[in-house]
Amino acid sequence: MESPTSSEQLTNCSELIQTLLSNIEVLVNDDNADEAQPLLDTLNVELKQWCESRDGPSAKQLELIQLRINTILVKANSAKNESSKAIIKHKKSGKAIKAYKASR
């Protein structure tokens, strides 16, 4: 059995990381970001191993990965902010209804 070449290992690591990022992005887009933690943990481990390997990623590859992570984070934070606004609005309307009922 032959061991994988350096370029095959590089491709495998890159593909695995892209798959993890895609799965995380799907969870964020489906408003299930809370379920992404195991994938984030795996992503962290894989990135660290890849960076510490003999044939680690190039600076350009790391920049592209960071750009994708930042894009996902922007989406997640936007969804979180919208959820927070909805919760606050719901609480305010609940208080308004209670105040209205109390005044009757």
pLDDT digits (tens, 9 = 90+) for 63-103: 999 999 999 989 888 877 777 777 787 777 776 667 667 77
d(CA 54, CA 49): 10
At 96 the pLDDT is: 67
At 85 the pLDDT is: 77
Question: What are the distances in angstroms from CA 31 to CA 27, 41, 83, 102?
Answer: 6, 19, 10, 37
| CA-wise closest residue to 18 among 83, 56, 68 | 68
Estimate to the nearest angstrom the gap between the alpha carbon of 25 and the chain centroid. Answer: 6
Helix pair angle (37-52, 6-29), 10° resolution: 160
d(CA 83, CA 16): 31
pLDDT digits (tens, 9 = 90+) for 10-45: 578 889 999 999 999 999 999 888 898 999 999 999
- 27, 36 contact by CB (below 8 A): yes
Residues 83, 28, 21: CA angle, nearest 5 degrees: 155
